[in-house]
Chain A
Amino acid sequence: MSPTLQKSGSLRRRLLLQLLLAAALLSTFMYLSVRAVAEKAAEATHNNILGASATSIVEQLRSSNGEIVVDIPYSAFSMLGSISDDQVFYRIESDRETLTGYEDLPLPDATLEIDDPHYYTARYKSVVIRATAVRRVIPIAGKPKSVIVAVAQTRFGQDAIASGVANTAALLGVGFFILTGLLSWIATNNTVKPIRTVAEKITRRGPQDLRPLDHPVPQELQTLVDSLNGFIGRLRGTLRRTETFIADAAHHVRTPLAIVRTRAEIALRHAEGDDARQMLRSVIRAVDESSRSATQLLEHATVSYRSDQVSHETFDVSLMLQDVMGVHEATAELKDLVIHADVVQAVSLSGDRVLIESAVHNLLDNAIKYSEPDQHIDVTLQTDGADCLISICDLGRGLAGKSQADLTQRFERGSNVTDVVGSGLGLTIVEEVAHLHQGSFEILPRTGGGTCTSLRLPLSR
């Protein structure tokens, strides 16, 4: 298994957390600003009414017989009562002398412009009040006299509005946060999706698939995918060199082996004495085995090499199968084996003919090798939906308990086949061919003894 990588956090979680943090900050900001704006608006409304109240009193100021006449209109206070149940205080003073109202009501320190309401906040009777003061100059006995009218109100009404608004703002903020959180989650998933897609593409590939990734990826992943492709390229190069080396080696071994075999056969013909003949036969057998190994190594290298560039030609599988059976007919006859063919005609398949042929060769070769004389082999070709199914069944010695996964490993052979020439590469090749064509390969014990191998290949890709 691949070593477990140490995780350095999750991109998705990091992104989501940052977005949520931003959403929380924005929600808080929105809550505070809605509150601030609403409080400003409420204060402005209260100020306006306070100002109107004070002004309406100021409008009634006049002088009579050298005295200031103050006639507070009923509406001056009732208008304050109409918007909130707040306590109302007032004070009318001239020359630092309170004419009427609450003598201890604080007045603003600032100098007041004439007829321009000045708003201020103060503490009175141990509560916070909002107050306004208006100054007007009226002539008393021909001399101008300054009169200040102050009207104040407690802030319960304003605070009630503020707390009402605060609740609404808090609700808004929470709603906003939930909505943004949801959107953040969706956005995060969408952002991380290409990474996962690339990962899935790579995971889904077969072990032999070393093509570069050509799936379109976002700009930010381009570098990663480029380096990955570079890495795959290097890996492929290395693998190709290895396969080439093996093919070369196999080729170089096969020729001398052929010469050794020929010489050994000639020697056998002229040999006298059973010991010498026996020895020569075992030499020939060893040479055959080595030769076959070399051939299959070469074949395997071919499969590996071609796996990079599988050709797609359309050909008739049934004809190909006939050809392969024709090649093996002579060998079968030597062992008195009969090949029963049950082949559907004209099955057109799109794939790499060389590779598929090689796979079928291997399967048929195995069937012949592991059959006893006078037995028969069944070769069938069927179409099954979009696939074609090539099955080759023998009545031979079976699998001796080994599983398909074991048998398709390189150089792995059955435990009951030491007497038969073989390299352990045949089934590996078949498996790889099936894989390259997005097909599958199955090897199962046949009921009543023997083995059934079946190669399932899609008709078109």
Chain B
Amino acid sequence: MYKFTATIVAVILLSINLKARAFEIEDRKIFEAASVADAGSVTGIGLSELKIISSTDLNYFEPLVRQYQLQNPNVTVDYTVASTAEMFKAIHAEQQPFDLVISSAMDLQMKLVNDGFGKSYLSTQTAQLPSWAKWRDLLFAFSQEPAVVIASAKGMDDLSIPNNRQELITLLRENPDRFRGKIGTYDLRVSGAGYLFATQDVRQSDAFWRLAEVIGSLSPKLYCCSSNMIDDLESGELLLAYNVFGSYAAAGLSEQQDGQIVPMLDFTHLMLRTAMIPKYSDNHLNAGGFIDFLLSDSGKALLSSDAQLPPIQSEPVTESPHLQPIRLGPGLLVYLDQLKRKRFLEQWTDAMIR
């Protein structure tokens, strides 16, 4: 029997391994190698470490880490959670010795590898990824998560459910009083994911700016995170939320019936959660093994069941043409340009905040 003696230790006490740190971390947990726990003593023979820095909350990833350790009992996993921006700082500016960077911020991940911070990794698992789900054996996507609109069924009862952005704009224009103060969306100034979704929307269609104008006129509530929007929709504070992580929505809305996902059939972007191995990694083989695990059948099964993160599948993308994965590539760097970002946020603020 495997005995997991994973211990949560105060973050502050455990910063020995890390360099003098300037980036902020939100959570940290060390999953000790099973063989250490069984033997009761640290012999150090055959043991190795895997230091993951991730933007994904611990509770989503814990089952995955445990399953990985079942297959790799000699690996101690050190899982650190930070915001995407802080993670970028940790790797790009501070070059912290992490072995694996898992982030939902595709653009920042892309910039990390573009600026030469990635270490290439090639395996049979990564070779099977569709071309849009990896970039040059440096960056690998393992989940595809749609940006969705969620709405309260009770609040929308007599209204027709919009199927695309044009219908959504019309709906909001025709019922301003009902939606005033009841619309939630990301605050692009603080949320990387929100910024990525918005910039991709702009790239796809002019409707985004008209939608922003309409939402802006209805005193929207701005959020940092998807989960807060989902919570507020459940509590009745919101009638509608735009560009929510579909994976979180599916998880948060499943238990109660009120909130529902409204599919946007004109286009729905799929954000790819990606992993990259920093070139300063000391345990890049473990990191590669973890990527392979995420892409393996057992990893995929756990991703969709326990972590509620839909694994990469090339078929649904071809079957449902409105699902469009955001392609990994240098195009993502454009909206990271400081001047571009400044201009975009100015435009967005003009439209959204009155």
Residue numbers of A with Cβ under 8 A of B are 69-78, 80-82, 85-89, 92, 99-101, 125-127, 156
Contacts and interface: CB of A to CB of B under 8 A. Distances in A.
Contact of A125 (B115, B337, B343): B115
B330 A73 contact: no
A97 to B, nearest CB: 13
A390 B333 CA distance: 108
Given A81-B330, A125-B115, 9 more contacts: A69-B343, A72-B339, A74-B203, A77-B334, A78-B334, A81-B329, A87-B114, A87-B116, A100-B337
Contact of B331 (A70, A71, A78): A78
7 contacts: A74-B203, A74-B334, A77-B330, A85-B135, A87-B116, A89-B114, A100-B339
B338 interface: yes
A88 B114 contact: yes
A85 B136 contact: yes
B136 A156 contact: yes
B19 interface: no
B210 interface: no
Q: Nearest 6 A-B pairs (CB), nearest first?
A: A78-B331, A81-B329, A88-B330, A85-B136, A77-B330, A81-B330
Question: Which of A76, A77, A86, A101: most chain B CB closer than 10 A?
Answer: A77
B340 A70 contact: yes
A82 B331 CA distance: 9
A101 B337 contact: yes
Interface in B256-274: none
A100 B343 CA distance: 13
Contacts of A87: 113-116, 330
Interface string B307-348: 000000000000000000001011111110111100100000
Contact of A77 (B113, B135, B136, B333): B333
A159 to B, nearest CB: 13
A125 B116 contact: yes
Nearest to B113: A87
Contacts of A156: 136
A87 B116 CA distance: 8
Contact of B337 (A72, A80, A81, A127): A72
Contacts of B330: 77-78, 80-81, 86-88
Nearest to B335: A74
Interface residues of B, number: 20
B329 A78 contact: yes
Interface of B: 113-116, 135-136, 203, 327, 329-335, 337-340, 343
B205 to A, nearest CB: 13
Nearest to B202: A74
Contacts of A78: 327, 329-331, 334
B339 A70 contact: yes
A81 B116 contact: no
Contacts of B333: 77, 88
A92 B339 CA distance: 11
Nearest to B344: A71
B334 A72 contact: yes
Given A71-B340, A88-B114, A76 B334 contact: yes
Contacts of B115: 87, 125
B268 to A, nearest CB: 19
Contacts of B116: 87, 125-127
A69 B346 CA distance: 13
Given A71-B343, A74-B203, A87-B114, A100 B334 contact: no
B340 A72 contact: yes
Contacts of A126: 116
A99 B203 CA distance: 23
Contacts of A127: 116
Contacts of A99: 339
Contact of B338 (A69, A81, A100, A125): A100
A144 B14 CA distance: 57
B319 to A, nearest CB: 24
Contacts of B334: 72-74, 76-78
A80 B332 CA distance: 12
B103 to A, nearest CB: 18
Nearest to A88: B330
Contacts of B113: 87
Contacts of A86: 330
Contacts of B340: 70-72, 100
A121 B103 CA distance: 34
B331 A74 contact: yes
Contacts of B337: 70, 72, 100-101
A248 B331 CA distance: 113
A73 to B, nearest CB: 7
Contacts of A73: 334
Contacts of A71: 339-340, 343
A125 to B, nearest CB: 5
B154 to A, nearest CB: 39
B337 to A, nearest CB: 5
Contacts of A81: 327, 329-331
A390 B60 CA distance: 115
Contacts of A92: 339
A59 to B, nearest CB: 15
Nearest to A101: B337
A63 to B, nearest CB: 13
Nearest to B131: A85
B91 to A, nearest CB: 15
Contacts of B338: 100
A377 to B, nearest CB: 99
A74 B107 CA distance: 13
A74 B113 CA distance: 19
B58 to A, nearest CB: 33
A72 B343 CA distance: 11
